[in-house]
Structure 1
Amino acid sequence: MDWTQTLFEVIDFRSFSNLWFWIVLAVIWSSASHWVLGVPFDLVIRARRHGGQALADLEDLVRINVNRLLYISEMSGLWLAGLVAFVLTLLFILAVWYGVEFAQAVILLATPMTIVGTMSLVTARRIHTEAPHGDALFQALVRHRLRTQIVGMVAIFITAMFGMYQNLQVLQGL
């Protein structure tokens, strides 16, 4: 028996049965939930509790990240939207039409993150136009984080169900 064949039998390199895929899934959603518009959520909590310099730091960081997101969307938003649409369409075709498991795994990661990116852009525009301070800013960031967590919970559930289905299909030899 060849050593590579033994290695492939011992370590399953398929996406949904691979521990690294599930670690990546957890890290992506943990990071998306922690970094609200590029601002660490612990800074939001500290600013809400202590105010003062922490609040000033939070408002400055939110302003910087909102301006950055809006600048990127204004300068290259159409190109990025087209590129993302192309990549998602390509992945969808590979995942559904050709049944490529890696494409299925990536589409289950990329599609909800695209939704979160769109939500971040909408929240950034709202913060830019309304210019909230203090409690209004906290509420906007907490609301955005809650929406991100809801999208993450739904995405993790769907990914887990699809992953279990794929693993059961492989066990049955289909």
Structure 2
Amino acid sequence: MLLQLGQVPAIIVSSPQVAKEVMKTHDVVFASRPHFPPAQIISYNYRDIVFSPYGDSWKQLRKICVSELLSAKRVQSFQSIREKSKIYSLMYGITSRAAFGNRSRDQEAFASVRGEITKLMSGFNIADMFPSVGLLQWLTGYKSQVEKLHQEADRIVKNIINEHKKRKATLKICKIGDDEDLVDVLLKI
């Protein structure tokens, strides 16, 4: 079934047979996400793993994520975090610890900003229904809210990256070890 939500077409898959067609047979056709201005801001023009269009760049991001963040050894190392965390904070806690390590003092601030971004982007906004009317993004204040949160997230991530660089220079870490997190791996790459 095809629904038209403002200017945005939405396909509703209501049978197992059609779901199989979409998810298996035609998965590449449905792999990319539609244009979404807030996501474009947050993801640096769709350059992250979540909003990146299907292609070589996305495949490379996925490969890094699977081999470094989701490896059996890395997932096992966060068993105690998973057992102690509440469901809501589980996603942010595990992801930020795996990505940034235990050393960053900005982890909680980053998780808070990501939570605000998620709330803002997942809520209803009339501007999302009419993406060609860019003026709606400005009139609703939506774009300025997203840009403000994006700048705050950038500031925090920049601090985390600088902490990692400083730590690496101080400790002269040259080999891959259990003490590395995703930021260390990405800085090497």
Shorter-chain TM-score: which interval? 0.3 to 0.5
Indicate the structure (1 or 2) with the bigger Cα radius of gyration: 1
Structure richer in helix, relative to its length: 1
> Normalised by the size of structure 2, how large is the TM-score?
0.33
> Normalised by the size of structure 1, how large is the TM-score?
0.35
Highest RCO, 1 vs 2 (Cα 8 Å, sep ≥ 6):
1
